[in-house]
Amino acid sequence: MNKPLRLLLAGAVALACAQLHAADDRGWSTPEKPFRIYGDTWYVGTHGLSAILITSPQGHVLIDGTLPENAKLVEQNIRSLGFRLGDVKAILNSHAHADHAGAIAALAAASGAPVYASHYGAEELKAGGDYAEDPQNGEAPHFPKVAKVNEVSDGGTVKVGDIVVTAHYTPGHTPGATTWTWRSCDKDRCLDVVYADSITAFTNDVYRYSDPAHPERVTAFRKTFEVVAALPCDVLVTTHPDMSDFLGRAAAHRAGKQPDPLFDRDACKALAQSSVVKFDEKLKQERAAKP
Ligand SMILES: [Zn+2]
């Protein structure tokens, strides 16, 4: 993998979804000009939060909606690319925190598209993020509840036209956290695109990953790192673009930089490895703080 990305991932600043008060500083509602990522895959999010559109003549797939107040912004981005929100036939969610799921209820209502999430993700969306087993429950702001959510199993798919998006359960950041993958083609060249969910560990005084009463918390997170590292991964997009310098890499790609930093088969592995280091640090801190 290229050196700048490695350095960035190694030093990735922990992003707390709970710290929404700092949202403006991070550009979470700052407009970003939408652009083609690769083939039928487009970026329609804001400067600080990803939303992805995958298009086909039979209809489109939208992944994530970003903050509740960004629904119009995402819709405008879709329109400015020449597509219609009304042609979105499926809305998928990475995880049920306001910065990724906040606008989904509004976008689902405006498009009429069904919403899809993992088993726990569906419960979390229907609860508007008010979910007891969420490590950030009580801190992360709630968001408009999504009335109906279709459950996708681990390894299950959502299909619209010739688009096939696969769900990979990657719990840890939230119980329902999901990474989505699909193939996008430009003429004859097809690439594996990964929309990696947040795999960062945040805890409060109540929830501890290291809680001896819940060994499954550590087990699940460690499996998540393995799952992400093993994904076929030509193009990595992260829910928070700055976690993988996604916008920087995409801009360099559009400018024709070689080697192309957008195509990096080691990117998922590097993201997982840097996250393991952070997670081990978090466990150490928790155990040291234990009374
Ligand atoms: Zn989050």
If one counts every other C-beta atom within 10 angstroms of the C-beta of residue 47, the result is 15
How far apart are the C-alpha atoms of 121 and 107, rounded to whole Å? Answer: 17
Cα 14–17–18 angle (5° rounding)? Answer: 110
pLDDT of residue 138: 86
How far apart are the C-alpha atoms of 39 and 186, rounded to whole Å? Answer: 4
Measure 95 CA to ligand 1 centroid, in angstroms: 7
Domains in the chain: ranges and CATH: 3-7+21-289 (3.60.15.10)
Is residue 84 left, alpha or beta, with left meaning phi > 0 and alpha meaning psi from -120 to 50? beta
Q: What is the pLDDT of residues 78-98, one digit of tens each?
A: 999 999 999 999 999 999 999
Measure 185 CA to ligand 1 centroid, in angstroms: 30
How far apart are the C-alpha atoms of 145 and 27, rounded to whole Å? Answer: 24
Measure 16 CA to ligand 1 centroid, in angstroms: 7
How far apart are the C-alpha atoms of 103 and 228, rounded to whole Å? Answer: 26
Measure 158 CA to ligand 1 centroid, in angstroms: 23
Tell me whether the omega of the peptide bond preceding residue 68 falls within 30 degrees of 0, making it cis.
no
Cβ(43)–Cβ(37) under 8 Å? yes
pLDDT of residue 154: 98
How far apart are the C-alpha atoms of 272 and 230, rounded to whole Å? Answer: 9
Is residue 128 left, alpha or beta, with left meaning phi > 0 and alpha meaning psi from -120 to 50? left
pLDDT of residue 24: 65
Q: What is the pLDDT of residues 49-59, one digit of tens each?
A: 999 999 999 99
Measure 131 CA to ligand 1 centroid, in angstroms: 13
Q: Tell me what percent of the residues of the chain surpass a pLDDT of 70.
A: 91
Residue 199 confidence (pLDDT) above 80: yes
Measure 151 CA to ligand 1 centroid, in angstroms: 19
The pTM of the full predicted model, rounded to 2 decimals, is 0.92
From the list 137, 138, 70, 135, the residue with the least C-alpha distance to 101 is 70
Q: What is the pLDDT of residues 106-128, one digit of tens each?
A: 999 999 999 999 999 999 999 99
